[in-house]
Structure 1
């Protein structure tokens, strides 16, 4: 083999061939990058859309479930007309009235129109199947002080009364209603077949609150001194008061008759709105929707009977922040504030400077209030 042939056989790629190969490789790399970038964008949108839908549906269904239970085991306003409701809770840090106690199946608190503001809603229900049955007392009740024989409750019958730790509402013809938790139940020697119910005060904890106030609190807060005009109780059983509200980008709930611990229901919830569906007096047909403002911020007894349904909406944002368009410094993925429902109030999110970098979706529904339907029939 000649030296010339040996040299030709060992010669590699030339400069031009290397440049052409690099150019082809660069083009292929750019194509692959573009495909992956497009795929990643689709993946992000799909994933965030699924997360948003999951959070929204779960939030809506959770609130709807409790709204459908609202009012069960609670006496109607016709049976127990309360002009003033007295409540108390002690959980180790809080000693005062039960926060947001509605005294009715549902109560909406309007959050206003400020940026980032949301409504809240509170539902109340009990476990008693005889909540509308009045149980007269054998004696007048000295409400202050509690824990004495004169303040014990002596119902005329013990049929279907809740056991110890159940709640009753103590009232008379004056219209004062006191929420009372039963702490003991013993046979009444003066009335065979009936019981004597105690409601002693105490100090509670966050996991086991106490609901009967001490004597000095009752005096300071103007609780009724006695119940002497047809005193009676209504059995409520186990009570549940649950509030829903938005805080720090999450839907939160808080109970007040099992514990006072706050619980996170779903994250990336940025807005909650609610309205009452009301009827005319004596009707069962919802003919208008009102926010909890003006006279509906604290509805009178007759107006509460007109509430037949609640419309609710939760606004959920995508969990991932979208990138600004190429060459742009600001996000434009969302340009207008989301609506709670078609034609409803918008959710002002301008308190977050990056609110336009997220996608939003509203979930709304209408929930009939079954217990309220039993009132307002005349």
Structure 2
């Protein structure tokens, strides 16, 4: 017998080094391709999800603003109230009353509300919830805080009320009125919290749950402040999330314009009416919000800021954030009629 072992048959040899290396290269190429496909699919998923988030938050933000603006002025739409100042139960004072005020300002022209994020607008919206006459109830005999009114049955304990003298609305109101609450009713007497206007004035019932709300973009969120409970004009309250409450995230811009119907075609600007008659000639608000997707992209995917109908005078400017071009944006805009304003031929 030969001392040497027989040669291994060719079918039992295994793989050569070259064959193993070729197989590894093919496998690595396959893995690279699969990872690229996965990364692309994941990027598309993030973009789709982010766009969906922007779509839903933007639509919600526009709806909430539109809902309040449509109610703006209800119960406060008398020529005797519009453009007057108002002391609120929170102790804060509004320099002027109106259905929806863009960037409200004090008598010295400084901003009433602390500014929101750079290049965004603020809104102040007010309306009542009463079922009484929008033209007020005649005060026939005031006796301090006890008032004899023409129709005491229109009032119940807890109603918010405002006493004011009669005005034709042709000049700016120089009065600062006070919002009170009804504490007792005994026909024809209505008892309120402070001394009201002179005889011949009017007592306005604005209901159990009136609203004075301020809106602003803060930290990339749409926030709201209840002016009846807090002083929204105080700069010290800006950082308090219980006062300026975030309601929609990733809303990066808010723009608004009045539509004045005293010209043809209608004029769009941010000039706030100063008299009741000027409010009568303001028929709508044009608003736009910009929603941003929540996912930042490693590449610049937005070349220029989005536009809206009012961009000629009020363009969107998102450049305050260094990486703003690494996000996707969606614009939501609408024209909201101001329905709760009086009609007066003399205006």
> C-alpha root-mean-square deviation of aligned residues, in Å?
3.0
Match of 2:93 in 1: 97
Aligned to 2:152: 158
Q: Secondary structure at the match of 1:154?
A: strand
Whether the aligned pair in 2 keeps the contact of 1:125 and 1:240 (CA below 8 Å) is yes
Between the aligned partners of 1:263 and 1:257, the Cα distance in structure 2 is 14
Report the CA distance between 1:8 and its aligned residue.
5.8
- In 1: Cα distance, 2:148 partner to 2:310 partner: 54
Relative to the length of structure 1, the TM-score reads: 0.75
* Contact 1:138–1:156 (Cα < 8 Å) also in 2: yes
Match of 2:248 in 1: 266
Runs of 4+ in 1 over 4 A off after TM superposition: 5-10
Which 5+ residue runs of structure 2 have no aligned equivalent?
105-110, 168-172, 232-242
User: Alpha-carbon deviations, 1:309-352, whole Å to 9, x = none?
Assistant: 1110001112111113xxxxxxx312212223374432222221
Distance apart, 1:74 and its partner CA:
2.3
Residue 229 of structure 1: CA displacement? 4.7
Quickly say closer, same or farther: Cα 1:83–1:350, change in 2 above 3 A. closer
Cα offset, 1:361, TM superposition: 1.7
Preserved contact between residue 167 and residue 237 of structure 1 (Cα < 8 Å): yes
* Residue-by-residue CA offset, 1:43-87 (whole Å, 9 max, x unaligned): 11111111111111111111111111112222322xx25664231
In 2, Cα distance between the equivalents of 1:352 and 1:227?
51
- Kindly indicate whether the alpha-carbon contact (under 8 Å) linking 1:86 and 1:178 is maintained by their aligned counterparts in 2: yes
The corresponding residue for 1:228 is 198
- Give runs of aligned pairs for residues 61-76 of structure 1, distance below 5 A: 61-76=63-78
Q: Give the TM-score normalised by structure 2.
A: 0.81
- In structure 1, the residue matched to 2:236 is none
SS of 2:256's equivalent? strand
Q: How does 1:195-206 map to 2 (within 5 A)?
A: 195-199=189-193
Q: Are 2:269 and 1:291 aligned?
A: yes
- May I ask how many residue pairs the two structures share in their alignment? 316
* Higher mean displacement: 125-134 or 44-53: 125-134
Instruction: Give the 3 Å change call, closer, same or farther, for CA 290–269 of structure 1 in structure 2.
Output: same
Which ranges in structure 1 are unaligned for 5 or more consecutive residues?
142-149, 188-192, 201-224, 325-331
Residue equivalent to 2:184: 185
CA shift in 2, pair 1:337/1:23, >3 Å: same
